Amino acid sequence: MRNLTLLTDFYELTMMYGYFLQGKTDEVATFDLFFRPFDESNFCIAAGLEQAIEYVENLHFSDDDIDYLRSTKAFNEDFLNFLKDFKFTGTIRAIPEGTVVFPYEPLMIMTAPICQAQLVEAALLNIINFQTLIATKARRVCHAATPASVLEFGLRRAQGPDAAIYGARAAVIGGCSSTSNVLCAQMFDMPPKGTHAHSWVMSFPTELDAFMAYADTYPDNCLLLVDTYDTLGSGVPNAIKVFDYLKAKGHKPIGIRLDSGDLAYLSKQARVMLDEAGHTDCKIFASSDIDEYVLESLKQQDAKIDIYGVGTKMITSNNTPSLGGVYKLCNISSNGVETPKMKISDNPIKMTNPGIKTVFRLFGRDTNKAIADVICLVGETIDDTKPLTITHPVERWKTKEVVNFYAKELYDTVMVDGKRTYKSKSVYQLQKDCQASLDGFWDEYKRLSNPHDYKVDLSDNLYALKQRLILNERKGKGNEVQKGSSRVRPKRS
């Protein structure tokens, strides 16, 4: 396993050094990792937790790491000696991979001595942001493709090997049936998928020769790329000849692949040609710069495509190439005193929610569909035996009474005192978990364009704490609550 301890921004280390010099190493900090609203999707699919835990488990500074840090001349020897015995001893709570999650809901809640909690910021954001982004994009692509299936084909266009491997993993969590990336398939126990390239066809004297050679090589897995020269004029007719040949020998051809041109028109024409030739069970596979918007258009045109290979626009999340995930301090524990913290900004979108939190998802008892989420302070409970009024977190005049519901807390504790409590799942089990989470929402929330707004409320106690901190800041008392009210643990009724 790679040691990624130095996969961090330099200011994380300089802050650690400052905490060390200021005698703050025994303070325990809690950070929230969450994302802010963005245009393309009203929710995300949580992903990357497995790799985040692996990273945290393996935190340590090697001799080479310490020699390198010494060479920067930014740290004294006492601090470098402190780093020699460094390891993670904290606790992590997280929303499970594959879960639908909304802006400002922490995907991960990190509680650890402040130097540890500070160091991991950049790497955790790198791991969680990327996989969550790609799982979300894949969910959109697969949603648009339904009932056709989607294969992940992004290896050659991903921004580097790690993006290709872990992006493919995330894409399968989000709904893709498999990947063309053999290393990813090996690492995560998936069957690699693929056909042949145009170069195969061009390497033979004729297209028919190429198709025959491929059929002889893979008689029971023959899927032919038909657009090298003339899709309808030669590609499909030659494929039909080969399929006739295979059927005569007792084999069942898979189908054809389109990789260019007007996919709607070509697929409909090819479907007619295949059916008339008696190959009604042959599939039509399509690739060529596809995303969810192209898929919606193809569906509207009644394209006859059974399987899609999606690469560039999914592995790069082309419309939204980064997730606005952040990692913000929400609580400091020192000498038994808990002090909630929040960022206060002139830009409301950048303000944070203070205190150690949890999230409850409310479901209708008669529908098992999600109604709303409530972000609470840890220790709060939701009484689901009586009606609950939820309130918009900013526009407080907007309220809704929820009745006949049950509440489910979203978090799992995945590390305690530096020890993993998280149980790994296969990628396909995570995909099932993702589908189960999605099934808990009405279609109106899941549509690609202009989805219905899902309600995410702050509990009354969290809202009141937030307002007190804002008021104290305005009065010049600093970002902390008054003495005696640092920790809020009431019941929510």
Give me the pLDDT at residue 445, please.
96
3-class SS of residue 414: strand
Across the beta sheet with 455-458, the strand order is 405-409, 357-364, 370-377, 455-458
Residue with tokens 């499909």: 236
Question: What residues contact residue 357 under an 8 Å CB cut-off, 6+ apart?
Answer: 32, 106, 109, 330, 375, 376, 377, 378, 462
Residue keyed to tokens 């945290």: 56
Q: 392 vs 324, which has greater pLDDT?
A: 324
The pLDDT score that the predictor gives to residue 209 is 98
CA 298 to chain centre: 26
> Over 60: is that where the pLDDT of 325 sits?
yes
Binned at pLDDT 50, 70 and 90, residue 340 comes out as very high
* Angle of helix 236-248 versus helix 207-217 axis, rounded to 10: 40
Model pTM above 0.85: yes
The yes-or-no verdict on residue 481 having pLDDT over 60 is no
Cβ-count burial 156-172 (b if 16+ within 10 Å, e if not):
ebbeeeebbbbbbbbbb
Query: Over 70: is that where the pLDDT of 484 sits?
Result: no
Write down the pLDDT at residue 492.
Answer: 43
Interval 438-459 mean pLDDT = 95
Say how far apart CA 321 and CA 314 lie, in whole Å. 10
Three-state DSSP state, 371: strand
pLDDT at position 208 over 50: yes
Least confident of 84-93, 126-135, 195-204, 465-474: 465-474
Stated as kind and residue range, the H or E segment containing 470 is helix 460-474
Instruction: Answer yes or no: is pLDDT of 396 > 90.
Output: no
